Amino acid sequence: MLQKFNHLMDYIETHLTEEISGKTISKIAGISDYHFKRMFSYMAGISLNAYIKNRRLSVANVELINGAKVTDVAYKYGYQSIDGFSRAFREWSGFLPSEVMKNNIQKSFPKFTFIIDIRGGISMEFKIEKKEKFNIVGVSKRVPIQFEGENNAIVELAQSITEQQRKEMHQLADLYPHQVLNVSYEFDDGYLEEKGFLTHMIGFATTKENPFDDLEQISIDESLWAIFPNEGPFPATLQETFAKTYSEWLPSADYEIADLPGISFTNHTGDSENVYSEIWMPVKEKNN
C-alpha cells in the first residue's frame, strides 16, 4: 500500500500542470478515489486537494523567483485569471506574486513521502470474518461526503423514517446485529472534490427479499470483512476508530478495501460516555 501511495506522489509531482482525475488516482492507488482521499487525509493530516494545491503553489513560487511571468505561471498551474492565482498565492504564502518576485521571498511545501512509523504501542482490536451474501433493507438518500462531525443530511434521513417503515424493517431483520445499520456506497469521484456525494442507507441486515413498496433493498455479495469493535464516548471513539483503520491498520495490513459498501452500527443505550459500535470494512487479500 505504501509503495502505491509513493507511486501516486511521484505521478502527481510530474503532472502538477495537468488535471488529475479520480479515475487516475483509483488506478494508481488500487482503491477508489474516495477511499484513497480518506486514507490520505488521515495519514497526512491534510486533504489530497490541499496537498496538490500547495505543491503547485510551491513550484510556482520557485518559478516566479527565477523570473517567470505571473501570467504564464498562473495559466500553467490551472488558474483561469491572474486575480484568482494572486489571491490563492497570497492565501498560501502571505505575499502577492509581485512581492515574491521583487523581494526574492520563498515559501516551500515539500513533496510527501510515506514511510511506516511504528509508535504508540497500542494494539487495535479487529477480526476478519467471512459473510455470505445478504441484503440490507431500509431507506436511502444522496448526502454530502463528510468525514467528521454530525452529517445533518443523515440526521434528516433518520428523522424521515415513518413508524410504518420501522415496523416493516423490523419484520425483515433476521441477521446480526438485529439493529439499525448505517451503509455508505456509490461515492462520487469527481475531480479532486472534497465534498462530493454518496448514497447513505439506514436499514437492517436480512436474508429475506423486500416485499414493501416504501422500502429499498441493496444486496451485498459474499465477502471478507474487517470488523473493528470500539467502545467509549460517542461519537469521538467511533470517529477515532475510523481514522485508525485508514491511517494505521490498512497501510500495513495484508488486506485492501473491496468494492462494496462500508457499514457501521452503534448500540445507543442512553449513556453517551460508554457507547458500543462496530465498523465493517469490506476487504480482500492483497495480490503481492
Whether 170 maps to a domain, the answer reads yes
Co-location of 134 and 201 in the same domain: yes
Whether 121 maps to a domain, the answer reads no
The Cβ of residue 70 has, within 10 Å, a number of other Cβ atoms equal to 19
Co-location of 139 and 260 in the same domain: yes
Whether 116 maps to a domain, the answer reads no
Whether 134 maps to a domain, the answer reads yes
- For the segment 178-202, the average pLDDT, to the nearest whole number, is 79
Asked if residue 243 has pLDDT above 60, the reply is yes
Report residue 195's pLDDT band, with 50, 70 and 90 as the boundaries: low
Co-location of 141 and 93 in the same domain: no
pTM: 0.70
The DSSP output letter for 248 is: I
User: Is the distance from CB of 37 to CB of 191 less than 8 angstroms?
Assistant: no
- Please choose, from the candidates 78, 100, 96, 73, the residue with its C-alpha nearest in 3D space to the C-alpha of residue 86: 96
The Cβ of residue 49 has, within 10 Å, a number of other Cβ atoms equal to 17
**Number of domains the chain is built from:** 2
Whether 108 maps to a domain, the answer reads no
User: Is the distance from CB of 137 to CB of 210 less than 8 angstroms?
Assistant: yes
Residues 101, 97: Cα–Cα separation, whole Å: 6
CATH number at residue 92: 1.10.10.60
Q: What is the pLDDT of residues 117-146, one digit of tens each?
A: 545 445 568 899 999 999 999 999 999 887
Q: What is the pLDDT of residues 90-111, one digit of tens each?
A: 999 999 999 999 888 888 888 8
Q: Among 26-30, 96-100, 158-162, where is mean pLDDT lowest?
A: 26-30
Residues 59, 186: Cα–Cα separation, whole Å: 35
CA 20 to chain centre: 17
Range of the domain at 156: 127-285
